[in-house]
Chains A and B, each alone.
Chain A
Amino acid sequence: MNSDRTIVAKELTRKFGDFVACDRITFDVGKGEVFGFLGANGAGKTTAIRMLTGLLAPSSGQATVAGFDVYSQSESIKRQIGYMSQRFSLYEDLTVSENIRLYGGIYDLTDRQIRDRTDAMLSRLGFRHAAHDLVRSIPLGWRQKLAFSVALLHDPKIVFLDEPTSGVDPITRRQFWEMIYDAASAGTTVFVTTHYMDEAEYCDRISIMVSGKIGAIGTPSELKRQFGTDSVDDLFVRLARPAANAPPESRPRP
């Protein structure tokens, strides 16, 4: 059954000292699925993402990402995934095309592949005229669209997007989501976090982490029905509230 599952996590756990940041989480994500990974600040999302991207060894439990084991094959995982975040996506002091070349080089693409894919990407985005502009000088919304395309440059099986649209204007934010849909319909799995609850509604399925555990998982409409709420926003507040009210200082930080 696992061939069409890009992520399979079983009882995945990470402790920091006595503190269980990620507590036996079990879920899977299918090929080409847009999976929204939600939770309050400090609920354990970042720890889970670091394990799934091969950056942090779990304390216990199992997980495979793109068919590779998170314990023994973390280097293979890194080659099979794409990653972008709001905080860091591209090098601001390099030009658009230099950034693409750098990423292509890191992922061992040939010069020819880099040239062809750069060309195709910039045409698709309508950015050809900006190829030699410094990333710092281009508007945030463009930068995020570009960063997403760069994260897909090496044809990863799955792309992790960590708050990719934070601070982006409402139209560009929606254009960004159309790029997500395009990537997903081309078969790339999209694993995305966001604080915009309307964006949670755009996901095929979502999970909501609460104090290190998965508090709910399903399609947005299933979950709204299950919890009797009108929107994912209300659902989120309902579920995340106990976590938010616990003093954050009772949760030691990694």
Chain B
Amino acid sequence: MTDAVVVHDVVKRFGATKALAGVSFAIHPGELFGFIGPDGAGKTTLFRILTTLLVPDSGNAQVLGEDVVSNLWSLRKRVGYMPGRFSLYPDLSVEENLRFFASVFGTTIAAERNRIAPIYSQLEPFKTRRAGALSGGMKQKLALCCALVHRPEILFLDEPTTGVDAVSRREFWDLLGVLKAGGLTAVVSTPYMDEADRCDRIALIQRGGLLAIDTPETVARSFDHPLMAVRSDNRHDTLIALRAYPHAGTAYPFGASIHFTDRRAEVPAERQQTELRSFLESRGLTNVTVDMTTPTVEDTFMDRMGDPANQESAS
């Protein structure tokens, strides 16, 4: 089966800034594929190239077998795009926005009813409301609906969950799951690392380059040092103590604990663990626990990106 997206060595500069520094990857048909990375990583530039809105400086990209530069007109009919910034008409109602997007592509709401039903059913009670007056979560659902109304074969969603609360984010991912089950290929970007697990495969993106491409489990497992979760009665003091530990590798707050690595690769994990506990107790910390823990996608991301202060000082 042909890949839904094939990108080869794409470079895009804006003045002195290299937004994309030669990225290559492929996305399979029917995949829910996530680009995970912070603001400024190059996600939006990449999405704009794949939706034919920007031309790469070099390299090439095919979506659904069509070149994004030479075949842009036929491709535009086949892709759906939900931009990161809310770009519907705030003064039109929910229904008017949807009708407009349908008519641009020569179709109607009624004809596309089945396709958009899972989402539109949630919007329909408010179809006369102005789009600008919707809550954040509802705006996202309307934008998704408008991106789907012309029956695209692939959907690009640029940061659909940014600035949205944790509950609405979960609901949005549930909706994407429904669309995926219907056979749609979806490419999503997000700065929230915990959303990686909702994707079939992910690419970690940072400063215009890809740090890893694989399933979320494989990306998380690729973290190759023993990882410890440290807790005590005082997190801040623990963090300061961990920084002062002579064998400290990395120490990052992680929810209720601090994720820590020991710099000494030659020392077995169990010994790293007991030595660390004794050290923290010797610093007067109470209720210290040091447990081995399973790395997450976010651990891998931080491990691969290194210290951003070092990377960015050159710019």
Q: Once the chains are docked, how many angstroms separate the CA of A166 from the CA of B38?
A: 9
Q: Which residues of A contact B252 (CB under 8 A)?
A: 170-171, 174
Q: Which residues of A contact B191 (CB under 8 A)?
A: 166-168
- A241 close to B126 (CB less than 8 A): no
- A253 close to B133 (CB less than 8 A): yes
Whether B308 sits at the interface, judged by CB under 8 Å, is yes
Q: Which residues of B contact A170 (CB under 8 A)?
A: 38, 193, 252, 298, 301-302, 305
Given contacts A140-B38, A141-B38, A169-B308, contact A241 B167 (CB under 8 A): yes
CB distance from B166 to the nearest CB of A (A): 5
Task: Please report which residues of chain A, range 193-227, place their CB below 8 angstroms from some CB of chain B when the two chains form the complex.
Answer: 195-198, 201-202, 220-221
Whether B265 sits at the interface, judged by CB under 8 Å, is no
- A231 close to B307 (CB less than 8 A): no
Given contacts A141-B38, A177-B253, A249-B126, contact A169 B167 (CB under 8 A): no
Task: Please report which residues of chain B, range 301-315, place their CB below 8 angstroms from some CB of chain A when the two chains form the complex.
Answer: 301-302, 305, 307-309, 312-313, 315
Q: Which residues of A contact B37 (CB under 8 A)?
A: 169
Task: Please report which residues of chain A, range 102-150, place their CB below 8 angstroms from some CB of chain B when the two chains form the complex.
Answer: 126, 129, 139-142
Whether A68 sits at the interface, judged by CB under 8 Å, is no
Q: Which among A168, A170, A232, A247 has the greatest number of chain B C-beta atoms within 10 A?
A: A170
Q: Which residues of B contact A61 (CB under 8 A)?
A: none
Whether B255 sits at the interface, judged by CB under 8 Å, is yes
Q: Mark B161-195, 1 if CB is under 8 A from A, else 0.
A: 01111111111000000000000000000011110
Given contacts A41-B135, A170-B298, contact A244 B312 (CB under 8 A): no
Q: Once the chains are docked, how many angstroms separate the CA of A202 from the CA of B253?
A: 8
Whether B203 sits at the interface, judged by CB under 8 Å, is no
- B206 close to A169 (CB less than 8 A): yes
Whether B247 sits at the interface, judged by CB under 8 Å, is no
CB distance from A239 to the nearest CB of B (A): 9
Q: Which residues of B contact A191 (CB under 8 A)?
A: none
CB distance from A29 to the nearest CB of B (A): 18
Whether A163 sits at the interface, judged by CB under 8 Å, is yes
- B170 close to A248 (CB less than 8 A): no
Q: Which among A140, A233, A244 has the greatest number of chain B C-beta atoms within 10 A?
A: A244
- A202 close to B235 (CB less than 8 A): yes
Whether A60 sits at the interface, judged by CB under 8 Å, is no
Whether A94 sits at the interface, judged by CB under 8 Å, is no
Q: Which residues of B contact A175 (CB under 8 A)?
A: 309
CB distance from A172 to the nearest CB of B (A): 5
Q: Once the chains are docked, how many angstroms separate the CA of A220 from the CA of B163?
A: 22
Q: How large is the interface on B (under 10, 10 to 19, 20 to 34, 35 or more residues)?
A: 35 or more
- A249 close to B129 (CB less than 8 A): yes
Question: Which residue of chain A is the closest to B159 with respect to CB atoms?
Answer: A167
Whether A40 sits at the interface, judged by CB under 8 Å, is yes
Q: Which residues of B contact A233 (CB under 8 A)?
A: 166, 194
Q: Tell me the dominant secondary structure on chain A's binding face.
A: helix
- A244 close to B167 (CB less than 8 A): yes
Q: Which residues of A contact B39 (CB under 8 A)?
A: 140, 167-168
Whether B125 sits at the interface, judged by CB under 8 Å, is yes
- A247 close to B253 (CB less than 8 A): no
Q: Once the chains are docked, how many angstroms separate the CA of A213 from the CA of B289?
A: 36
Q: Once the chains are docked, how many angstroms separate the CA of A233 from the CA of B296?
A: 16
Q: Which residues of B contact A160 (CB under 8 A)?
A: none
Q: Mark B124-144, 1 if CB is under 8 A from A, else 0.
A: 011001000111111000000
Q: Once the chains are docked, how many angstroms separate the CA of A244 from the CA of B239?
A: 36
Given contacts A41-B136, A202-B235, contact A169 B305 (CB under 8 A): yes
Q: Once the chains are docked, how many angstroms separate the CA of A168 from the CA of B165?
A: 16
Q: Once the chains are docked, how many angstroms separate the CA of A220 from the CA of B256?
A: 8
- A249 close to B38 (CB less than 8 A): no
Q: Which residues of A contact B308 (CB under 8 A)?
A: 139, 141, 169, 171-172
Whether A164 sits at the interface, judged by CB under 8 Å, is no
Task: Please report which residues of chain B, range 234-248, place their CB below 8 angstroms from some CB of chain A when the two chains form the complex.
Answer: 235-236, 239
Whether A30 sits at the interface, judged by CB under 8 Å, is no
Whether A240 sits at the interface, judged by CB under 8 Å, is yes
Chain B positions near chain A (C-beta within 8 angstroms): 37-41, 125-126, 129, 133-138, 162-171, 191-194, 206, 235-236, 239, 252-256, 298, 301-302, 305, 307-309, 312-313, 315
4 pairs of A and B residues whose beta carbons are closest in the complex: A248-B135, A169-B38, A167-B39, A244-B167
What would be 17 A-B contacts, judged by CB atoms less than 8 Å apart? A40-B165, A41-B168, A167-B39, A169-B37, A169-B206, A170-B193, A171-B305, A177-B253, A185-B236, A197-B166, A197-B194, A231-B255, A232-B255, A236-B167, A248-B134, A248-B135, A251-B135
Extra A-B contacts (16), CB below 8 Å, given A139-B308, A140-B38, A172-B308: A39-B165, A41-B137, A41-B168, A126-B309, A129-B313, A139-B312, A167-B191, A170-B38, A170-B193, A174-B253, A202-B253, A232-B255, A244-B167, A247-B125, A249-B125, A249-B134
